[in-house]
Amino acid sequence: MDKEQIAQSYDLACKAFTDLNVDVESALTKLERISLSVHCWQGDDVGGFESLGEDLGGSGLAATGNYPGKARTPQELRLDYLKAFELIPGKHRVNIHAMYGEFKGEKIDRNEISIEHFQGWIDWAKENDLKIDFNPTLFAHPKARSGLTLSSKSKEIRDFWIQHVTCCRDIAESIGQALGSPCINNLWIPDGTKEGPVDRAGYRALLADSLDQIFAIKHDKANTRDFVEGKLFGIGSEAYVVGSHEFYLGYAVKNKIGLTLDMGHFHPTESVADKISAVIPFVPELLLHVSRGLHWDSDHVVIVNDDLIALAEEIVRSKAMDRIYLSLDYFDASINRIAAWVTGARATLKAMLYALLQPWETLNELEESGRHFQRLALLEVLKSMPFGAIWNYYCNQKDVPTGIDWVEKIEDYEKKVLKKRG
């Protein structure tokens, strides 16, 4: 799209939004401040770089598809990341899992990892002016094979995983310190059972005890923040999940730590958007895992749909954007993996822009004065506003392709780089 056309369309669109009492420039300033945490595991189908030298056991997370060209090394993954960042407007973050350390062929078990294994990521982040977030990895490991980790009735297994999360919190603190930005450390565990246990309470008491031991160690909030993430069900945990949403909501409120809501982790009729205003008054911070549930799968590539727009609207309306973090969380191995990143990231930012371009005060006035059909009409009008022109202008300003133009950049990268991978 040529620059003149973009500028002209933007001017017309601005006028249309201004007529509705929307401040476009202020919306773009707010959009610019949104830094998405982009998940490394889309780049290699949740593989990681460990050399534990044994069958790792099921992960409870299944990436399906075998599209060629996936990243096989930290270098390849980082190269792919930079390509994706070239096509996403704004400044974003890198989100890594503990299993993505650089172990140089050594057999370092999860309870032995330390900051040195992430030095490569830190150096690269510094070179590219990026920030890093972190996640302990309590799956894809022989000691997770029973499906129970921090809630295991085996003290040995439980202690092992407590040590792992403790290592990870130290690493997150060091990463945050090295890069000068709090490293968001998100804890999700796969614990659950295929059939309902008789001792539901017992496993939950053990999980609470493990978490108490873990969080008894305090870290500097300027360097790292802790979050806990629940789930409704997973592969192998169909009947019972120890760390359910209610469990973690209670735990986070009681202990004043962050809560994570994953869009794919609830019953399909539940709205994660609706939960934001319900929980934000009671937890210090909220992390949203932006995902797309489809039937049993909770991790399809994010696209602009009603759920995403509702989420974005509730974030904007919460007036607590400074306490809400956005992290992508999905994995699709059946399409170009960089395109999967770019699609989800652009969709999330687009939905945020859509929500930022709404005349909240007018809508609220209509609501408070009981003019409900007028509110409905205005919300409907917003759907056909020239929002795409503002999006294109923003992309152009941020030096990334507008419209469909990013697709050819990926095709080119596929030809020049990905096709050469074995």
Interface residue list for Zn ion (CB under 5 A): 262, 289, 329
Nearer to ligand RNT, 70 or 375 (CB): 70
Residues 53-82 within binding reach of ligand RNT (CB under 6 A): 61
Nearer to Zn ion, 135 or 151 (CB): 135
Rounded to a whole number of angstroms, the minimum distance from the CB of residue 243 to Zn ion is: 12
Cα distance between residue 63 and residue 47, in whole Å:
9
**Per-residue interface string for the shown chain with ligand RNT, residues 231-260, x marking contact by CB under 6 A:** x-----------------------------
Quick one: the chain helix, strand, coil %, rounded to 5?
Answer: 50, 10, 40
- Residue 418: phi and psi, rounded to 5, are -65, -40
Q: Could you say which of 10, 17, 41, 134 contacts ligand RNT (CB under 6 A)?
A: 41
The two three-digit tokens of residue 89, written as one number: 């407007």
- Find the farthest-apart pair of alpha carbons in the chain and give their distance in angstroms, rounded: 68
Rounded to a whole number of angstroms, the minimum distance from the CB of residue 31 to ligand RNT is: 25
Cα distance between residue 95 and residue 325, in whole Å:
12
Residue 135 binds: one of Zn ion, ligand RNT, none (C-beta under 5 to 8 A by kind):
ligand RNT
Query: For the chain, what is the total number of helices (H) and then of strands (E)?
Result: 14, 12
Residue 1 binds: one of ligand RNT, Zn ion, none (C-beta under 5 to 8 A by kind):
none
Rounded to a whole number of angstroms, the minimum distance from the CB of residue 287 to Zn ion is: 9
Nearer to ligand RNT, 135 or 193 (CB): 135
Residue 158 binding ligand RNT, by CB under 6 A? no
Q: Could you say which of 329, 336, 354, 406 contacts ligand RNT (CB under 6 A)?
A: 329
Residue 314 binds: one of ligand RNT, Zn ion, none (C-beta under 5 to 8 A by kind):
none
The set of residues, in sequence order, having a beta carbon less than 8 Å from that of 78 and lying 6+ positions away, is 121, 124
Nearest one of 68, 171, 157 to 118, comparing CA atoms = 171
The two three-digit tokens of residue 351, written as one number: 């939905």
Residue 229 binding ligand RNT, by CB under 6 A? yes
Pairing of strands 240-241, 192-193: antiparallel
Cβ–Cβ < 8 Å for 210, 151? yes
Site size toward ligand RNT, by CB under 6 A: 12
Nearer to ligand RNT, 225 or 375 (CB): 225
Residue 289 binding ligand RNT, by CB under 6 A? yes
Rounded to a whole number of angstroms, the minimum distance from the CB of residue 292 to Zn ion is: 12
Residue 231 binds: one of ligand RNT, Zn ion, none (C-beta under 5 to 8 A by kind):
ligand RNT
Rounded to a whole number of angstroms, the minimum distance from the CB of residue 113 to ligand RNT is: 16
Cα distance between residue 422 and residue 414, in whole Å:
13
- Residue 190: phi and psi, rounded to 5, are -85, 0
Residue number with the smallest Cβ distance to ligand RNT:
188
Nearer to Zn ion, 97 or 169 (CB): 97
- Residue 201: phi and psi, rounded to 5, are -65, -35
Cα distance between residue 156 and residue 40, in whole Å:
30
Nearer to Zn ion, 100 or 394 (CB): 100
Neighbouring C-alpha atoms within 13 Å toward the C-beta of 260: 26
Q: Could you say which of 14, 40, 70, 135 contacts ligand RNT (CB under 6 A)?
A: 135
Cβ–Cβ < 8 Å for 58, 234? no
Residue 375 binds: one of ligand RNT, Zn ion, none (C-beta under 5 to 8 A by kind):
none
Residues 161-190 within binding reach of ligand RNT (CB under 6 A): 188
Rounded to a whole number of angstroms, the minimum distance from the CB of residue 177 to ligand RNT is: 23
Nearest one of 102, 81, 83, 72 to 38, comparing CA atoms = 81
Nearer to ligand RNT, 80 or 133 (CB): 133
Residue 152 binds: one of Zn ion, ligand RNT, none (C-beta under 5 to 8 A by kind):
none
Rounded to a whole number of angstroms, the minimum distance from the CB of residue 139 to ligand RNT is: 8
Nearer to ligand RNT, 98 or 125 (CB): 98
Buried residues in 70-99 as b, exposed as e (16+ CB within 10 A): bbeebebbbbbbebbbebbbbebbbbbbbb
List, by residue number, the catalytic residues.
188, 229, 231, 262, 265, 289, 297, 299, 329
Rounded to a whole number of angstroms, the minimum distance from the CB of residue 64 to Zn ion is: 17
Cα distance between residue 55 and residue 337, in whole Å:
25
Rg of the chain over CA atoms, in angstroms? 22
Q: Which residues pair with 38 in a beta bridge?
A: 94
CA dihedral over 41, 44, 45, 47, signed as positive or negative: negative
Where do contacts with ligand RNT occur on this chain (CB under 6 A)?
41, 46, 61, 97, 135, 188, 229, 231, 262, 289, 298, 329
